[in-house]
Amino acid sequence: MSVYDDGPFNAVKNPALLVRTDSSVGLFIYGSPYAKGKSTLLEINGNDDGNTKTDSRKFASSNLSFVKSLKKVSFGLSFALQNDDDNYYSRKSSGSYLGTDTFSTNEKRNAVGAFLSAAYKINSAYSIGLRMYTSYKKESNEEDEFNVIRIVKEKNTDSFAISPAFGFNMTSRRNLVEFGFLLSGGTFVKKKYDYNFTRSDGKKGNDSYSSKFEMTQSPSITIGILKRFKKISFSAESVFYIPAKYDDKGFSVNDEGTSIVVTDKKCKNTFRIDQRLGCEYMISRSTAVSCGIGYIQMRQNNDLSKLTESGEDRVDVRIFLFSLGIDKKLSPDTKIIVASSNHLILNKLETKASGLSIKIDAYEFIPNIMFAVIQKF
């Protein structure tokens, strides 16, 4: 959260909190060995279809963070990924539609990222911070479709991202209240695509495309508050995303399966808000338990006029979060954290393009296991 002190991991969250952190190093590891999802094609052109797609995926990620604190200035370096992205991601899907067509997909992703942060302590109550994020991601996606003729599609993507942010923190030691503020300038990504396909009748095709830096996530404003009591503290945070338009380019095979076409969607983030509540209770001077809940809602409209004669699709995503954890100080300089976080994702998609109308419902449940250790130096 933007107001909760996470030691060296503040370099990833609100950089203004770095001035409250002693010089330290932290290692954070999390992942999900098993996650399941299912999507249902509700109807095509008003007709009930009822076909389903099942998903299974695995992912793992880590965060290695360093903080060096001086008298009024602190510096942070964190090797991590933003927005709960993963260092390793693997997903397999299979299903059918229209009663006859079948498909399967195999998606893999590897990524590395880094945060460079700095904070300045104005006085005992106020601090500010700056943060710059950059990442490199390599993705592969293989899709196998069968409808009279089998088509195997393969897409490889290399992407480089940057994202700046400014943070502010205010602490009232008299009332034991803290306020946090974070302004993110959005995320800008440069991509390179390589795409090829092979048909069962021997026909093949390949193409590539490189983009300039383009926005993939709109700017956001984060506001948080923390209230401490004798043994318990409560926190709340909201993230508001500013509506923005951007292009989403890629490759696909035409309807006849004979050639590659460039896909170009005009995306607009019409609404997104993240809300989180947290609570921490001190069992003893060295042990604390915590829990949290969260809710994320996203709506996005995509203009498909560059792909078809006319059309658009609408995406509505709702994510419910629940977490439970325990902090244990092994010594004045060493602390470990064990936690579990669970995500339930509900997704609705409606597409209307060139006389075609499609409605899809999907859900996914993702359990996460987390472990962290912090060492002061």
Give the CATH number of the domain where residue 180 resides. 2.40.160.60
Cα 265 → chain centroid: 21
Residue 2 lies in a domain: no
Residue 132 lies in a domain: yes
**55-64, 255-264, 267-276: range with lowest mean pLDDT:** 255-264
Per residue in 278-327, pLDDT tens?
Answer: 999 999 999 999 999 999 998 877 765 554 445 667 788 899 999 999 99
Question: Where do we find the tokens 């006859």?
Answer: 100
Is there a contact between 77 and 116 (Cβ–Cβ < 8 Å)?
yes
Between residues 97 and 6, which one has the greater pLDDT? 6
How many domains does one find in the chain?
1
The pair of three-digit structure tokens given for residue 29, joined into one six-digit string: 């590891």
Residue 209 lies in a domain: yes
Q: Is the pLDDT of residue 343 over 70?
A: yes
Per residue in 191-241, pLDDT tens?
Answer: 888 888 887 777 888 878 788 888 888 899 999 999 999 899 999 999 998
pLDDT at 223: 95
pLDDT at 97: 61
Average pLDDT, the chain: 83
Residue 240 lies in a domain: yes
Is there a contact between 49 and 95 (Cβ–Cβ < 8 Å)?
no
Residue 289 lies in a domain: yes
Residue 340 lies in a domain: yes
DSSP state of 124: S
Parent domain of 346: 7-376
Give the mean pLDDT of 150-168: 88
Which residues are CB-neighbours of 309 under 8 A, at least 6 positions away? Answer: 354
The one-letter amino acid code at 108 reads K
> pTM value?
0.85
Residue 149 lies in a domain: yes
Is there a contact between 109 and 86 (Cβ–Cβ < 8 Å)?
yes
Is there a contact between 366 and 56 (Cβ–Cβ < 8 Å)?
no
Q: Is the pLDDT of residue 35 over 90?
A: no
Residue 187 lies in a domain: yes
Neighbours of 183 (CB within 10 A): 13
Q: Is the pLDDT of residue 329 over 90?
A: yes
Strand partners, 67: 24, 76
